A and B are shown apart, each in its own frame.
Chain A
C-alpha cells in the first residue's frame, strides 16, 4: 500500500485548489460500534451450536486501521450495479492483497466495549478524499493496560444457556505475533471518504463464539461455578478463529 503521508503530500501539492475533487485532504471521524444480533442488545446472541449467550463484559483491543482504495478479495457484488455487471475480486489467501492507496489511517490502539450500544468515538483523523473499498485492521495488544481487557487482547465474561444447562464463563484471548494472525485483511466496504464523514468499525461479537460448545469447558475444581475459556479448550479455539473471521468486522460510513 502507498503510505497516507505520501498521498496527503501529493494531494496538497497537486490538488490544492480542487476542493471538490477526489484526492484532496479531508478530516474524518473514526468510531467503533458493537452491533446487535437481531433484536437483542449487543453481546447477546444465539450460537450455531445452540447456546444462548449473554455477555456481561466483552472488549477487544484494535489498531492500527488502514482505509484502502482497492476492493477487497471477497467483495463480490458489493454495490447494486455489480449484480448486473459481475466483477471478480481477489480471493483465498489474501497474503498477496495490497489494497492500493491508503485513504486514511489510525495508527494507535483503542478498545471496543462489545456490550455497549451505539458508536464509540475513537479519533479525528486526516485522510485523502475518495472511495474507500476495503479496510485492513490489526488486533495488536493495547498500548497501555486497559481494565476491561484483564491483561489480554480481548476479554469476555458471560453466561451461556442451552436447555437445562447454564454455564457461566470468562476468559481472555491473546493472539500470537506469528505471520498475519493479528491482521484482518481486506474487509469489504464502500465509503466515500470526505470532510465530516464518520467511518464506523462494526464489531459483530456473535461471530466470536458462534462455533463454541460451552459444555466442553472443564468444570472448575473449587466452589466457583464460572468456567474458564483458555487455550486448549474448544470454546477458546472457536473464539480464536472467530475473532478474525470473515464477517466479524464490517465498516460503514455516515455523516
Chain B
C-alpha cells in the first residue's frame, strides 16, 4: 500500500490562527493510492504484486462515500452530515467533502461510510451510466478492470453491495485519533482505500497476506472471444475446495493446494464471492495507513 498523497502531520494549515477556540474547516480528499492509477504491480521496494503472476489494471474503481461524523471523546458532536458522493478513484484524488464552521479542537472520533449509492449523491469523475448502475444496483463499489497472465486478459466488472462504516479512524501521520480543526484554518485529510485488500488470500492478520487472482480467473467464461468473470460466478469457488479452470484442485506457486482463509470473519457462505465482499470491508483507512474500525453499516 503506497501513499500517493503526501499529507503532512495531522493537518496542512492553509492559514494560521488560535490553536483553541474559534472555528475552522476540514477538507477531505479521497484516494485509492497508487494502485488506482497504476494497477498491479505497484512499483516500489518491495513491489506490490500478485503472488500468482497476474497483472491488473483498473478501468473504474467507483465508490459511494459519505455520512461523515466528527465527535469528541467527551461526547460533543462536531459534524453529522448526510452528504454522500459517488467518485471514481481511477480519475484522481479529488476533494469530496469540505466542512466549514466546525469548532476548533481535536475531534477524536472521525468516521465515514462506504454507503449505497443514492440519487442525492454528488458525482465526481464518474459517468452518468456508471452512477446509474451504482444507484439502481444499490452498490457501494463498482470495480472494473482487466487482469492479465501469460498474455491472456480476463475482464471483470463487479458491483459490490457491502456498506461499511469506518469509525474511530486514526491519523497515520502521527498516530493520533480523529482530526484537528484549528481556528480560521483548513485542515486537510484523506479518506484512503486500500484496494489490495480485495485480493488478499486471507483475512485477519494482513501481515503476510498475498494478493492472488488465479481463483477468480478460474471461473472466467469466454464470450465473443473475451474472457470475463462475473461477481456472482465467484460463488462456484468453495474456499476449502478451490478449483482451477480445468476442474482440478487449484495449486499455489509451490504446488500446494490453495485455500482462501477467512479466519473467523463471518461470511454468508464460505465461497469466493462472500469472501471478496468481506475483504472489501477492510479497505477503509485514513490518511494513508491510518486504521479505522471497519464496521457493518
B-contact bits for A13-53, CB 8 A (1 contact / 0 none): 00000000000000000000000000000000000000000
Q: Which residues of A contact B152 (CB under 8 A)?
A: none
A224 interface contact, C-beta 8 A: no
Do A238 and B240 have beta carbons less than 8 Å apart? yes
Q: Which residues of A contact B295 (CB under 8 A)?
A: 73, 88-91
A80 interface contact, C-beta 8 A: no
Known contacts: A88-B165, A88-B297. The answer to whether A94 contacts B257 by CB under 8 A is no
Do A95 and B205 have beta carbons less than 8 Å apart? yes
Stretch of A101-109, A161-169, A181-189 lying at the B interface: A181-189
Known contacts: A179-B208, A232-B256, A237-B240. The answer to whether A94 contacts B263 by CB under 8 A is yes
Do A178 and B264 have beta carbons less than 8 Å apart? no
B52 interface contact, C-beta 8 A: no
A91 to B295, CA, bound (A): 5
Q: Which residues of B contact A94 (CB under 8 A)?
A: 203-204, 263-265
A-contact bits for B257-281, CB 8 A (1 contact / 0 none): 1010111111100100000001101
Do B207 and A92 have beta carbons less than 8 Å apart? no
A184 to B204, CA, bound (A): 10
B232 to chain A, nearest CB (A): 19
Do B265 and A74 have beta carbons less than 8 Å apart? yes
A88 to B205, CA, bound (A): 21
The A interface is mostly helix, strand or loop, or mixed, namely loop
Do A74 and B238 have beta carbons less than 8 Å apart? no
Q: Which residues of A contact B165 (CB under 8 A)?
A: 88
B83 interface contact, C-beta 8 A: no
Do B167 and A74 have beta carbons less than 8 Å apart? no
Centre residue among A187, A213, A241, A242 by max chain B CB count within 10 A = A241
Partner of A92 from the list B167, B208, B240, B278 (CB cut-off 8 Å) is: B278
Do A93 and B265 have beta carbons less than 8 Å apart? yes
Q: Which residues of A contact B257 (CB under 8 A)?
A: 232, 234, 237
Partner of A91 from the list B205, B207, B294 (CB cut-off 8 Å) is: B294
B291 interface contact, C-beta 8 A: yes
A69 to B267, CA, bound (A): 24
A-B contact count (CB 8 A): 110
Known contacts: A88-B295, A234-B249, A241-B239. The answer to whether A93 contacts B266 by CB under 8 A is no
Partner of A234 from the list B207, B240, B266, B291 (CB cut-off 8 Å) is: B240
A183 to chain B, nearest CB (A): 8
B229 to chain A, nearest CB (A): 22
Partner of B293 from the list A76, A90, A185 (CB cut-off 8 Å) is: A90
Q: Which residues of B contact A92 (CB under 8 A)?
A: 164, 203, 265, 278-279, 281-282, 294
Known contacts: A88-B165, A94-B265. The answer to whether A76 contacts B296 by CB under 8 A is yes
Centre residue among A73, A91, A184, A185 by max chain B CB count within 10 A = A91
A183 to B264, CA, bound (A): 9
A245 to B265, CA, bound (A): 7
Partner of A237 from the list B207, B241, B263, B278 (CB cut-off 8 Å) is: B241
Nearest CB in chain A to that of B111: its residue: A88
A251 interface contact, C-beta 8 A: no
Q: Which residues of B contact A245 (CB under 8 A)?
A: 262-264, 270
Q: Which residues of B contact A88 (CB under 8 A)?
A: 165, 167, 295-297
B205 to chain A, nearest CB (A): 4
A152 interface contact, C-beta 8 A: no
Q: Which residues of A contact B294 (CB under 8 A)?
A: 90-93
A241 to B240, CA, bound (A): 7
Do A213 and B241 have beta carbons less than 8 Å apart? yes
Do A241 and B265 have beta carbons less than 8 Å apart? no
Do B204 and A211 have beta carbons less than 8 Å apart? no
A178 to B291, CA, bound (A): 22
Q: Which residues of A contact B293 (CB under 8 A)?
A: 90, 96-97
Nearest CB in chain B to that of A239: its residue: B240
Partner of A241 from the list B167, B207, B261, B297 (CB cut-off 8 Å) is: B261
A239 to chain B, nearest CB (A): 9
A42 to chain B, nearest CB (A): 21
A186 to B203, CA, bound (A): 14
Q: Which residues of A contact B239 (CB under 8 A)?
A: 211, 241
A: residues with CB less than 8 A from B are 73-74, 76, 88-97, 178-181, 183-187, 211-213, 232, 234, 237-238, 240-242, 244-248
A and B contact pairs by CB, cutoff 8 A, 8 listed: A91-B282, A91-B295, A95-B204, A179-B207, A179-B208, A213-B241, A234-B249, A244-B263
- 10 new A-B pairs (CB below 8 Å) besides A92-B281, A238-B240, A246-B265? A92-B294, A93-B203, A180-B263, A185-B263, A211-B239, A237-B259, A242-B240, A244-B264, A245-B270, A246-B266
8 pairs of A and B residues whose beta carbons are closest in the complex = A92-B281, A88-B295, A179-B205, A211-B240, A180-B205, A238-B240, A92-B282, A246-B266
